[in-house]
Structure 1
């Protein structure tokens, strides 16, 4: 996957233009070299095991944050973000059974029993404390789960703390701003409570909706240092994209950039509604 850095906030990013190379008959981006794929493999395996609730004992997992951060309950104007529950099984199965959802996620096709197991695993991901800890929240609308947002703790030291954010929404509820509303509230939580200095996101480069959402939130894609000759960058002098073998695109958002898009205020409004 691409390493990312922030670039000027004045850059205008238009995902559709950047993705023209993916249309039928167009030139495809160069594949990543073997050494890059090999470097990514351990992280993919580790994340897959973590998603299944298989982790090393905490005593063997390295540095910790000053205090653990537990999953919050956040109320936005239209949504409730809270811990997953086994009572959500029907909604969760409907979500991950949608072809529009699995098309751009590395989730396997699951039957009902497998989906219930996946949900049970998600109910356990409720704390960020050490590197690679994972926290997942259900996105609820009128008592039904319509999506999921998550944080992955990537770097622990306070001066460079970073988390990776994820979002998924049932396509039946798309186009109404719910994903933006949920992700913005979780971004505020990441900066204000977790103490992140930078938040990253990884999305399939063909997922136009996800890219547009990332742009609205202030994320910026850039080319990683040291790989400029081995990936296919865009032609923009101030904005570069880099492609991985899985066609994923990494994006980044700093606290300073986020404040211009106001996620911290979104968090404060959410916490105020809980009082």
Structure 2
């Protein structure tokens, strides 16, 4: 983390309003039908296949069901998440939602990517399009990793690749993360990548990343663009 950013003085002006609103306890509106969500970012951005040094980040498949359920059942996985305790059937339904979440086009669109290591899904990383206007475009990112694979740098590798994708493909001005302050590992991960804590409210710490502050994990990610079908776009809206 750069010292000249620690006090927030280098924070982009477009972020100021959001940070103040978030600190006052205001939340983003719930996702609405596409026609009611106003402006878009122009050309829709589809879920990529991102290749890092050790991982493949890609859209979910029905064949991920076993790994997805194991992730849900991992010790401590839900401690800092809003995920309920799901049984096998409920986890399958959640996976189906993840499988459809692969287009960013309008405000509140959500994209989910599986973290694959040697053919196994070991975690999840997501992008949430929070603001679409080019001058204030913001993407919130979140990540979760199965405990068996924590402490090996996989989450850092994935988060760096997704942040770079948000800046380059989505053309975000800012990338946000909301992290429970008790989740020390996630806080350290974010700071390693260049995120700066801007505000804290209850069990949420708001961290901000700008493109020039992003520190890439070893091995720059290679993004393989994926075609967007009419069906995919209709599901996103």
- TM-score scaled to structure 2, two decimals? 0.82
Q: Is the 8 A contact 1:188 1:266 kept in 2?
A: no
- More strand per residue: 2
Aligned to 1:248: 204
How far apart are the structure 2 equivalents of 1:150 and 1:243? Answer: 22
Say if 2:114 is the partner of 1:138.
yes
How far apart are the structure 1 equivalents of 2:2 and 2:179? Answer: 20
Say if 2:220 is the partner of 1:262.
no
1:204 to 160, 164, 180: 180
Aligned length: 209
Q: Is the 8 A contact 2:53 2:220 kept in 1?
A: no
Q: Quick one: structure 1 residues 164 and 74, their matched pair in 2 at CA, closer, same or farther if it must change by over 3 Å? A: same
Alignment partner of 2:143: what SS? strand
Q: Quick one: structure 1 residues 113 and 65, their matched pair in 2 at CA, closer, same or farther if it must change by over 3 Å? A: same
Aligned to 2:61: 85
Say if 2:104 is the partner of 1:128.
yes
Alignment partner of 1:108: what SS? coil
How far apart are the structure 2 equivalents of 1:200 and 1:110? Answer: 27
How far apart are the structure 2 equivalents of 1:138 and 1:271? Answer: 14
Q: How does 1:1-275 map to 2 (within 5 A)?
A: 9-10=2-3, 36-37=24-25, 39-40=26-27, 43=29, 46=30, 55-56=32-33, 58-223=34-199, 242-244=200-202, 247-258=203-214, 261-262=215-216, 266-267=220-221, 270-271=222-223
Structure number with bigger Rg: 1
How far apart are the structure 2 equivalents of 1:154 and 1:139? Answer: 23
Q: Deviations over 1:198-219 (max 9, x none)?
A: 0000111100111111111110
The answer for unaligned runs of 5 or more in structure 1 is: 1-7, 14-34, 224-241
Alignment partner of 1:84: what SS? coil
Q: Is the 8 A contact 1:128 1:153 kept in 2?
A: yes
- TM-score scaled to structure 1, two decimals? 0.71
| 1:12 Cα deviation after fit | 9.4
Q: Deviations over 1:87-144 (max 9, x none)?
A: 1011000101123110110100100000000001100000000001000000000000
| 1:271 Cα deviation after fit | 3.0
Aligned to 2:12: none
Alignment partner of 1:168: what SS? strand
| 1:222 Cα deviation after fit | 1.9
| 1:10 Cα deviation after fit | 1.1
How far apart are the structure 2 equivalents of 1:83 and 1:175? Answer: 24
How far apart are the structure 2 equivalents of 1:181 and 1:61? Answer: 32
